[in-house]
């Protein structure tokens, strides 16, 4: 049997770091090449420094290792992207098209390209946002993801390239920190709780958003990539649902464990982004086509987040 060789671009990121470890388990430690702009000293495995805006550098890694699958996770997220709209567009689109082109011209036969709930704008229903709906994203990040979805569909239709994608909700995990997103509060809040600090939330108490626990997000990604080709009917990106809550609800859950935990609210520009995003997602196509089913709800996630972060901070203290 031919083994797949996997290249992960953006392996230091919130999702990339956890996904890389899982891919090492699924495909074999020596069959996964991690890559990012700099070396993470905690990383263990094969690693290459890679700036994905340079197509020749991606090409040479693909050639050197005979890569057959690429997970392209590098991007500037929604909130950070608004600081420099044009360079965000240039960077996100350039990296993505470089990856698609390298795949088209090489032995790479499968690509994972993440999309996001940021593709939706105020023309989409906020509740149970459907898979197929008019997309009018309000952030550059969202515009670049919506364009990316259409490019993915184009490469599939015209070159037969097997690109698969998920519109991730906010991803919450204890292993890594998000950077520059609108849903980041839902990770930060757990860290404050464990450190027994008051948390200042940049979204208002009633801002409900779709979210997913890291374990579910990773499992969804691998399940989508392993699904038989004929099951993949959506060649833009699949809606993916797991849970929805607002800052007041996550605070109430945390208070079961830390009754004195306090949150104050200082909404900033991220509030305006969140206001246009879905509150809940209709993911029936992902469920029907490749059997998606989330496992974690807010209670289960909170229990695991607090337990794991407590361990992490205790270990830091012991060192």
Q: How far is CA 124 from the centre of its chain?
A: 21
At closest approach, how far in Å is the CB of 19 from ligand SER?
15
Catalytic residue (one of 71, 141, 155, 190)? 141
Please indicate whether residue 141 is annotated as part of the active site. Answer: yes
Residue nearest to ligand SER (CB): 181
At closest approach, how far in Å is the CB of 201 from ligand SER?
14
At closest approach, how far in Å is the CB of 151 from ligand SER?
18
**Cα–Cα distance between 33 and 57 in angstroms, integer?**
14
Question: Which stretches of the chain are DSSP H helices?
Answer: 14-27, 55-65, 78-81, 85-104, 140-159, 185-194, 214-226, 247-257, 269-275, 284-290, 298-318
**Cα–Cα distance between 141 and 80 in angstroms, integer?**
9
At closest approach, how far in Å is the CB of 274 from ligand SER?
8
At closest approach, how far in Å is the CB of 159 from ligand SER?
27
**Cα–Cα distance between 168 and 240 in angstroms, integer?**
6
**Cα–Cα distance between 53 and 94 in angstroms, integer?**
6
Q: Which is nearer to ligand SER, 61 or 172 (CB)?
A: 172
Q: Which two tokens stand for residue 209?
A: 């958003």
Binding residues (CB under 6 A) for ligand SER: these are 77-78, 116-118, 141, 168, 170, 181-183
Work out the number of other CB atoms within 10 angstroms of the CB of residue 45. Answer: 16
Q: Which is nearer to ligand SER, 61 or 219 (CB)?
A: 219
CB burial of residue 103 (10 Å; 0-12, 13-18, 19+): buried
Q: Which is nearer to ligand SER, 30 or 122 (CB)?
A: 122
CB 244 within 8 A of CB 280: yes
> CB under 8 Å to 265, separation ≥6 — which residues?
200, 201, 203, 204, 205, 247
At closest approach, how far in Å is the CB of 203 from ligand SER?
11
Q: How far is CA 268 from the centre of its chain?
A: 23
Q: Which is nearer to ligand SER, 24 or 92 (CB)?
A: 92
Q: Which is nearer to ligand SER, 100 or 120 (CB)?
A: 120
Q: Which active-site residues does the annotation give?
A: 141
């Amino acid at each position: 049997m031919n083994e797949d060789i996997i290249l992960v671009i953006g392996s230091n990121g919130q999702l990339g770091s956890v996904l890389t470890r899982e891919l090492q388990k699924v495909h074999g430690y020596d069959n996964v090449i991690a890559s990012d702009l700099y070396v993470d000293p905690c990383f263990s495995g094969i690693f290459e420094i890679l700036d994905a805006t340079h197509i020749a550098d991606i090409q040479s890694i693909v050639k050197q290792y005979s890569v057959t699958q690429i997970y392209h996770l590098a991007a500037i997220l929604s909130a950070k992207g608004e600081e420099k709209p044009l360079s965000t567009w240039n960077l996100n689109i350039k990296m993505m098209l470089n990856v698609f082109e390298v795949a088209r011209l090489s032995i790479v036969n499968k690509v994972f390209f993440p999309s996001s709930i940021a593709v939706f704008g105020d023309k989409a229903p906020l509740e149970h946002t459907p898979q197929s709906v008019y997309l009018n994203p309000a952030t550059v990040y969202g515009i670049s993801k919506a364009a990316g979805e259409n490019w993915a569909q184009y490469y599939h239709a015209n070159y037969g390239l097997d690109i698969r994608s998920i519109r991730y909700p906010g991803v919450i995990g204890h292993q890594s920190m998000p950077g520059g997103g609108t849903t980041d509060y839902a990770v930060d809040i757990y860290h404050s709780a464990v450190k027994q600090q008051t948390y200042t939330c940049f979204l208002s108490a009633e801002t409900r958003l779709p979210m997913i626990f890291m374990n579910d997000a990773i499992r969804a990604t691998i399940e989508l990539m392993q699904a038989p080709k004929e099951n993949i009917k959506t060649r833009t990106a699949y809606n993916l649902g797991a849970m929805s809550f607002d800052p007041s609800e996550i605070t109430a859950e945390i208070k079961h464990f830390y009754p004195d935990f306090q949150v104050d609210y200082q909404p900033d520009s991220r509030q305006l982004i969140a206001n246009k995003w879905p509150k809940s997602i209709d993911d029936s196509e992902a469920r029907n086509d490749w059997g998606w089913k989330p496992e974690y709800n807010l209670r289960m996630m909170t229990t695991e987040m607090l337990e794991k972060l407590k361990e992490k901070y205790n270990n830091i203290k012991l060192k």
